[in-house]
Amino acid sequence: MSEGPVRPRFFYGYTIAALGFLIQAIFWGTYRSFGLFFNPLISEFGWTRAEVAGAASMGWLIVGLLNFPSGALVDKAGPRLTLTIGGFCFGVGFLLMSGVNSLWQVYLFYIIMAVGMSAADVVPLSTIARWFARRRGTITGFAKVGTGIGMMSTPLFAGYLIESQGWRTAYAVLGGIAIVALIVIAQFIRRDPSKMGLKAYGADDSLSAEKRPEDGTTLRKALRVRQFRTLCAVYFLITTISEVVMVHTVPHAVDLSISYAGAAGILSIIGATSIAARAIIGVTVDRLGSKKALLLCFIPLLAALVWLQFADSLWMLYVFAILYGLSHGGFFTLIAPVVAQLFGTVSHGALFGVVMAGNGVGGAIGPVLTGRAFDVLGSYRLPFLILIGMALAAVLLVASLTRTPYQIEAERHAALTSTSRT
């Protein structure tokens, strides 16, 4: 009898997890620094908030729309090629922003940047899902801690560059670092353990190839399942909220006569507090399951959004950042393991990409409408109040989730397998 693939003393999946950590830190730390460039661009060129926010919205829409083809590319061609292309486009977009002189250039360069950004999550998180059959949420949480580290450190670095060297130099430095680091990292990524003669961590070889949990639901079947459409709607709402917060919180703080450095600290605190949430929620989803883990994330989110209605000083905005960071880290760590739990991994890249496409639409609509509302109303009060209603709607959607056909079939198969062994 031939032996199946085995796990050596050092499992390469841990290298994949470490690389995922770095990918997340570079992509998200750099991308989330956009709020710091908001006021310098407005001050130098006299554009409105809606016009500048529109560039971020356009970019986020492109990210969302390209997440599906990026996920499909990971499934078919592998993560190495996908990340190489993505890292190049992302870095080039930032480099080009250092020479921007008109609004149309901002939109064009953010589209280029967004093409690269579409690889930010689907490459590391879908790859991790394939390398870990068990502890998937925990390992995903570790990789997403990289996002928190990046969001905590990069805004501070970018803020320093903006104040000391100017916003153009800051764009150039961030772009140069990103393009080199991401392309190098890409060369060490492997799609799944079978490509190296290995098996996924915790894989049960006794399960038949047809119905083991690593197979799961195809994209075509998932699109017909209510739970998948519900999950897409949930993350549409969550991402709309997220992008409004990440783009408009710093300008809101500056409007309250808070210093630029103090306002930049809001983003860093969100990143810092999200670190703990990312690690904890990964373990939580492994133990409690998708639905309970998602519902837990709404507790700090609703508290943060209610608190924001009354926050009019720096310390109050820092409290908001702590609460919001806990929810932000949890929600965006859960996407990949939740998709894997509910639908398996056979088409994980494509399914992940479809969920993220909904994110892109929500993330595109939110900031630009909020910017327009501010230009008309002169205040963020109404847009921030609407965020609470959106969060409550998302809670109801998550509460309606039931077991998927894939989960029911996998549980039935596991029971039959257990019976046949006895």
**292-297: long-range pairs with CB below 8 Å, 24+:** 293/137, 293/330, 293/334, 293/338, 294/234, 294/331, 294/334, 294/338, 294/398, 294/401, 295/395, 295/398, 295/399, 296/330, 297/326, 297/327, 297/330, 297/331, 297/334
Tens of pLDDT, residue by residue over 327-344, are 998 998 888 888 888 888
- Going from N- to C-terminal start, the domains of the chain cover 12-196+210-414
Q: Which CATH class is domain 12-196+210-414?
A: mainly alpha
> Does residue 319 or residue 42 have the better pLDDT?
319
Measure the CA–CA gap between 407 and 338, rounded to whole angstroms. Answer: 12
Residues 182, 312: contact at Cβ < 8 Å?
Answer: no
The β-bridge partners of 201 are: 132
- Residue-averaged pLDDT of the chain: 86
Cite the DSSP H helix spans in 78-166: 79-97, 103-117, 122-131, 136-165
What is the sign of the dihedral through the CA atoms of 329, 332, 334 and 336?
negative
Residue 417 confidence (pLDDT): 62
Q: What is the pLDDT, as a whole number, of residue 420?
A: 57
Say which DSSP state 201 is in.
B
Q: pLDDT digits over 360-391, tens only?
A: 888 888 888 998 899 899 889 999 999 999 99
Q: How does pLDDT run across 251-300, given as a tens digit for each residue?
A: 899 899 888 778 878 988 988 888 888 888 888 888 888 889 999 999 99
Whether pLDDT at 175 is above 90: yes
pLDDT reported for residue 415: 65
